[in-house]
Structure 1
């Protein structure tokens, strides 16, 4: 049975909260920069599209995906007015267990930040088997996971504000 490919970044803009009063941090891995810069571009443009002011988007870079957790924690501690932090990275499976350790560590770290923190930390880490899968998810046939992370941030900020 053939699987139909479709863009997974489609959403109803009417369901997205207005971001005009929101402050959002983005931490981006420099590793696999072709992919992570495309994710950043998608997230940034989507935030602007939904009203987040350019001056209210703080972007910082870290060397690799494993450093995303520390970068997100530092950003939260440094800029206390942030309403959410998006982490963007890309880990491509190789021939060693490095992939499993990095992906597991980042997943656990972001989960812990969400449990311990007072703002949402949005998981935007691509974990793919090959570079083509990454390209497909960074503006290719499966959309841009950066867009999806931005929409998630806006919705989670709204959720958080409604439930305080």
Structure 2
């Protein structure tokens, strides 16, 4: 089944860790806020639904997706933050700016995660149109914010399991 035909926010929840005492930072790009606010709502709701205390979820805003990398690093450097979720959207448009931005943000977030040994989750949509973005921000294809939050939860669980071994 192609991704065009299904909700991508269906995930396996077996064996999730207790996140009631974990602290999360959700970083949200303000550009295309019609989409990023929906991503935030999905991520926040998923964290709370699976056990995060609302007071342990901190939000930060950055102007656009390009700034997610540095903002993520600032949050990830804090010892009280267990995972960072970076949410944004870069729509194809008529120029190649999305190619440069998407590549830089993906690489930057990966580097922050590796450098600080902490889950920093790439929740950036890279659609061709606004309609495709909305379809993936609570529309017919689910909500990438939900998926990003679940990824953070699972990565915390994996790290805990590895440390126990």
Partner-residue secondary structure (3-state), 2:126 = strand
Distance in 2, matches of 1:89 and 1:151, equals 17
Secondary structure at the residue paired with 1:132?
helix
Contact 2:113–2:119 under 8 Å retained in 1? yes
Deviation at 1:160, TM superposition (A): 1.1
Unpaired runs of 5+ residues, structure 1, are: none
State the TM-score, normalizing by the size of structure 2: 0.93
Name 2:103's counterpart in structure 1: 104
1:162 corresponds in structure 2 to 161
Residue by residue, what CA displacement relative to the aligned partner does 1:103-156 show, whole Å, maximum 9, x if unpaired?
011011011112211211001000010111100100001000000001000000
Equivalent runs, 1:35-54 vs 2, <5 Å? 35-54=35-54
- Could you tell me which residue of structure 1 aligns to residue 5 of structure 2? 5
- Give CA deviations for 1:65-97 in whole Å, capped at 9, x if unaligned: 0000010011122x3211110000000001111
Matches within 5 A, 1:73-112: 73-77=73-77, 79-112=78-111
> What's the counterpart of residue 56 of structure 1?
56
Runs of 4+ in 1 over 4 A off after TM superposition: none
Corresponding residue pairs, total: 162
Unpaired stretches in structure 2, ≥5 consecutive residues: none
- Post-superposition offset of 1:11: 2.1
The separation in 2 between residues aligned to 1:71 and 1:36, in whole angstroms, is 15
TM-score (normalised: structure 1): 0.94
